[in-house]
Structure 1
Amino acid sequence: MSATLFSPFELGSLKLDNRIIISPMCQYSAVDGSASAWHRTHIGNLSQSGASLMLLEATAVEAGGRITPYCLGLYSDANEAALASVLDEVRQFSDMPIGIQLCHAGRKSSSEPPWRGGAQIALKDGGWRAYGPSALPQSEGEIPPLELDHEGLKRIRDAFVESARRAARLDLAAIELHFAHGYLLHQFLSPVANQRNDEYGGSPENRMRFPLEIFDAVRAVWPAGKPLGVRVSATDWVEGGWDIEQTIELARRLHERGCDWIDVSTGGVSPRQKIPVGPHYQIPFARAVREATGMKTIGVGLITDAAEADKVIRDGDADLIALARAVLWDPRWPWHAAAELGATVKASPQYWRCEPRGAGRVFDGAAFGQR
């Protein structure tokens, strides 16, 4: 393949300058679901990174679907207005496309943020009763979720649709639906969390039913041409759980429905998971999905080295790579990768004079908001 990390790419009608995406990263800094001053700093900073697309953090489609009381939401007029204000400011100085990941936490909702231990919040301490495909808690000792009935399933489908409409009004560039990391739609997919006896449980066909209904409902209201993708956990890393073969079948069905990409992660549905963590440990799953389905894929997981990231693209393991921790640690990772690989990126003209001596020309001269 001739593709490299800094070659252009297209997702639907969205033209990307390079193959580097900023992955959704929970910030646990919203107020009643609404973006705060923290988001102005966080999103504004990363919008100057040189990546080609930013996907905003897992954003709840209803208040009860938040992972923590501090998670971003897009379920109310106040949420929409607060995020609009942040985006309006960021867009004055960056033309980086910004998308959003829509999520429902299911049985993993009503939790403390990680720096407070991440445990389930008791009802007496301000928590709320979670919902899931079955009345099975995430961890031993937790309050079991309420099993969703058909009315509840409709409520959540409608919530995804309404959040997608709000995302369209905000002129967000893309939506990624969160089918991964043990949240509600992954819970439906995995036999570890889904032990229903109706048409939404049992066989892989039935366990895929509700997530595919969500995709279809969002696709119907999301503007034609604007890309719509899905993040999956390709394996639960638990014996008898969701696995790569089922993921490939899900990807085929999504592809038939007009899904623009699969963002291939792993794990999250059970504390019994045994994950062999290491550099690029999830990339083989992205390659497997790409080879089996022909879908555009995003590779993730401990990608830190520019040359190795470039090799992922050149070798055809994935079409795009997504950075999370690496870009928090180094918000100019794409600049530094471009310097190392002899490529260029866009940057605001206020920063053009910062190129180190001997680094070569890193900034391509394209500017946004130049005065």
Structure 2
Amino acid sequence: MSDTSNQPDGNNTFIENLIPSSFYLIIREERIFIGLIGLFFLIAGVTFPYAGIAMWVGFFFAGYSAIANDSIQTIGTFLASNMDKKWWHLWLYIGGIFLVVVTISFYVYDGDVSYQRLTSKGFDETPTSFTFLQVAAPIFLLILTRMRMPVSTTFLLLSCFATDAEAIASVLGKSLSGYGLALAAGLIVWLIVTRWLEKRFAQGEPHPAWLPIQWITSGSLWGVWVMQDAANIAVYLPRSLEMTQFLIFALFIFFGLGLLFYLRGDKIQRIVTEKSRVTDIRSATIIDFIYAILLTYKLTVSTVPMSTTWVFLGLLAGRELGMSIMDKVDMGKPMPVVIKMIFKDLSYALFGLLVSILLAISINADVRAEILNMIGY
């Protein structure tokens, strides 16, 4: 009797002939994720006519998708340089800071958990009805995150609720200036420290004192980031939460962070780990320190929401440029590689911006009319 266990299945061969092999492999590897995405779209389609339910469904989708995509900015370097630590130690630390930060906002700003990011014009109205695309927007973000695209959750989620095009323009202007400022800061700092510090870092193990310094720096950065980006999640909810609503908001994100740490940042974490020397706790600490200063500065400029993703990508771009200019052999990467890396990250961010604008145009007739008028239609 012949062994047929290793012979190709006729049905599989027929399917593989119809579908390119690389695409077929992706479908096989991601079949569970694809199934979940289909289920999520179905849930969004069923619930969006019922505002009271759609509000929470959209929040649940947004809560995890926003944190998962934006994790590379704040806890990406923290994860990369603490791979030897237990995941739940990292989770309790970062999750605890989240609970403290949003609780302070809840009490100080009378139920507002966004540190008044949602009080600016165009975002200050609590949604009273939802469209399918508003509820489904975080699902698109999940897909882009799975594809390792560091898109702006601020643009993708907040744009869906903007009541006028001017609000989107304000967010875009603040984000672009943040990218330019971060790129300049990263370039200048690493032109200075590449040979002075980075080479010294490469020659020996870090002093034990670097561990608490990094945890304090990363914790501070995470706290400032929550002040900026909690608005991306809270946009689905009333602008002033009741205690029960606040507990659902805070605990869902807290346990979502636990899943994210268990997965070690999932696939999008590679955006950080592909950069030069980010697994060194000393280099990671410097990145987090500069980033925290930039976010703190932008936090005090105005209450207009801002894409922290663009600021983070600008900082990494400036850092890679500085290290390549000063020492492309030992510390940095060759300039062509750096330029390609910067272009790839920026193209993903711009793609996310395009998707968010298309969603805003599709959802809101007033925004659609204003944007079309701006471009001459």
Q: Provide the TM-score with structure 1 as the length reference.
A: 0.23
Going by fraction, where is strand more abundant, 1 or 2?
1
| Greater C-alpha radius of gyration | 2
TM-score w.r.t. structure 2 length?
A: 0.23
